[in-house]
Every structure is written in structure tokens, then in C-alpha cells.
Amino acid sequence: MAAATDELIRRMYEAPPDGFVAARSAAVAEAKKSGDTAAVKQLTALRKPTVAAWLVNLLALRKPELIDQLVELAEALRTAQRTLRGDELRELSTQRRQIVSALVGEARKLAVAQDKGLAGKLPLGEVEATLSAAMSEPEIAEQVRSGRLIRAATYAGFGEVPRPRLRLVHDADALEDAEQAEEEVEEGDDEPAPAARDRALAERRRREFQEKRREFKKELTAAQAAEKRADDQLDKAETAERDAGHAVEDIDNELAELERRRTEAQAEVGRRKLARRTAEREAAAARRRVGDAEAALEDLDGAAPD
């Protein structure tokens, strides 16, 4: 049954999100009918995806090999950033832009193939932001790969390491680091001054990148906690709504039963009333016969011989 449930969930996340709630309700009802409590719990926990998340899910479910390429390229980019291979980093960054653009176009094709009315109404910018975030954050990449994304993702901390041979320095601290590196070279370091300057700048930028990454990770943790609280509240609200709906159904059923019994009782009253009227006519006829017999008897007695 687990495999069948997984396939059902896959179809739900492949379908346009406007029919998700109805499909989930039908699936939960069927699972309850079959007594599959595990499936009921699994299906009830599902959340409706946004349109942008649905587009990314289409890619993950219909074109998983393209998502794999995206993740592999992301790993290559992270390696290049760590090792400060500038030429390789620039080439990979170009590939990154190309593959993200291609994936956004593919998502649009898949969506329009399902519903031509969606053309021109798709949040492709959110799709692009989500794919870029997946390249920067392995956790987001895994969510994308699952094909069960429920909302678009963003990652503002993604960036390339500084390119070698930077000529302009706008950061005062970075400039100070670079000047200090030059002084070290003048004091006897064999490393060429431009290379030392570039190394100091790169180190400064790396520290800034790590600091920003820690800040955004903290924000992500807080956002995830808020999301969980919101999801818990939504679960409670949905459960209360379902319970209220079931109560209304029960009352409707009781009303229908009472109406049926009322109709039967009214029919029985009609039958009883007809029987009473028949009995009244028969009683009146009997009384007339009694009166006639009494009168005949009196006449007879009056005419009896002395």
C-alpha cells in the first residue's frame, strides 16, 4: 500500500495546485474507508504547493536528470569557491546561469503542456530564484529533488569569490588588509605584491561570505521555526474544519432520518383517520338498524291480540 500511496502523492504534486485540496480530501477519505491509518496520516500531512513550487516539482518529477545536473554543477561551484580557482569559477558561473535559464524554460514547457491557459501567467522569477537557491544550499536542493516542494525558496547569500587581479577596492577593511599584505612583502616576503594583495582581498571576502552565510542560516532557522508553528496552526485549523464538517454531516443525516420518520408518521395518521371515519359510518348504520328494530318491535307489541 505504501508504494501505491507514494504514486498517488506523486500524481497530486504533478497536477496543477488548484485541484490539490480536493484530490487530498478524496485520497484521505479512500484511505479511511480502507482502514489504512498510516496512509491517512501521510496524506493528511501533505500541503498544497504554490504555483512556483509546482513548477519546480514538475521538473523534479518529470526531468530528474536535469535537477541532477544542477546539483552536480553546484558542487563544482562550491569546490571552485573554496579553492579560489578564478578561471574555473567564472566558467562554472556561466554554466550556472545557462542551466538555470534552461530549467526555467523547461518548467514553462511542462506547465503549458498540461494547461495552455497558464502561458504568460507563470511565476518564472520565483522558479529561477528557487533553482538558484538549490545550487547554493544542499538542504534546498534535497527539497527540490523530492518533488514535494510547497513554496518557492530564495537564498541571498550566494555569491562568487572575488576574481583575481581586482583593481578597485571599495571596502576600507579589505583595503587595510591588502595594504598590510603589501607591507609584509616589502619586509622580505618573496610573494609578489599584486598576488599578496589579491590573496588578502580574497581572504577578506571569504570571511565576509562566511559571516553572511551564518546570518542567513540563523534567519533560515528562525523562518523554519515560524513555518512549523504556522503549519501546526494550519493542521489544527484543518482538523477543526473537518470535525465541524463531519458534525454538520451527522446532523444532516439525523435530520433526514427524522424527516423520513415524520413522513411515515403522517401517513399512519392518515390511515388511522380513514379507519376512524369508516368506523363512525359503520356505527351510525348500526344505530339506525337498532332504532328500526326497536320501532318494529314496538309496533308489533302494540298490534298483539288481547
The pLDDT of residue 117 is 80
Number of domains in the chain: 2
The 10s digit of each residue's pLDDT in 242-277 is 667 767 766 876 777 788 788 888 888 998 888 998
The number of angstroms, rounded, from the C-alpha of 204 to the middle of its chain's C-alpha atoms is 41
Is the pLDDT at 85 greater than 80? The verdict is: no
Residues 40 and 100 in one domain: no
Round the average pLDDT of the chain to a whole number and report it: 80
- On whether residue 246 sits in a domain, the answer given is no
Structural contact between residues 80 and 92, judged by C-beta atoms closer than 8 angstroms: yes
What are the pLDDT digits (tens) for 168-209? 333 444 444 444 554 444 444 444 567 778 888 888 888 888
Residue 91 maps to a domain:
yes
Residues 62 and 108 placed together within one structural domain of the fold = yes
64 pLDDT above the threshold of 70:
yes
Cα three-residue angle 274-276-279, rounded to 5 degrees: 110
pLDDT of res. 216: 81
User: Terminus-to-terminus CA distance in the chain, angstroms?
Assistant: 109
Task: Note whether 20 and 103 are same-domain residues.
Answer: no
Is the same domain home to 65 and 125?
yes
Asked whether residue 65 falls in the same domain as residue 39, the answer is: no
Cα–Cα distance between 5 and 28 in angstroms, integer? 10
Do 95 and 144 share a domain, yes or no? yes
- 304, part of any domain: no
Show the domain range for 141: 49-161
Output the pLDDT for position 256: 73
pLDDT band at 156 (very low <50, low <70, confident <90, very high): low
Question: Which residues have a Cβ under 8 Å from the Cβ of 24 and sit 6 or more positions away?
Answer: 12, 43, 44, 46, 48
pLDDT of residue 167: 34
The answer to which of 37-41, 138-142, 184-188, 254-258 has the lowest mean pLDDT is: 184-188
Q: What is the pLDDT of residue 95?
A: 84
| pLDDT tens for each residue of 214-227 | 888 888 888 878 87
Q: In this predicted model, what pLDDT tens digit does every residue of 18-32 receive, in sequence order?
A: 999 999 999 999 999
- Lowest mean pLDDT, pick from 51-65, 88-102, 129-143: 88-102
98 and 28 assigned to the same domain: no
CB of 178 closer than 8 Å to CB of 201: yes
C-alpha distances (whole Å) from 228 to each of 20, 177, 220 are 21, 43, 12
Evaluate whether residue 122 is within a structural domain: yes
Whether 120 maps to a domain, the answer reads yes
- Structural domain includes residue 240: no
Whether residue 79 sits in one domain with residue 26: no
Q: Are residues 119 and 66 in the same domain?
A: yes
Clarify whether residues 56 and 146 are in a common domain. Answer: yes
Kindly state whether residues 60 and 110 are assigned to the same domain: yes
52, 126 contact by CB (below 8 A): yes
pTM of the model: 0.50
Asked, for residue 186, whether it belongs to a domain, the answer is no
Query: Same structural domain for residues 62 and 39?
Result: no
Q: Is residue 24 part of a domain?
A: yes
Most confident of 151-155, 194-198, 300-304: 151-155
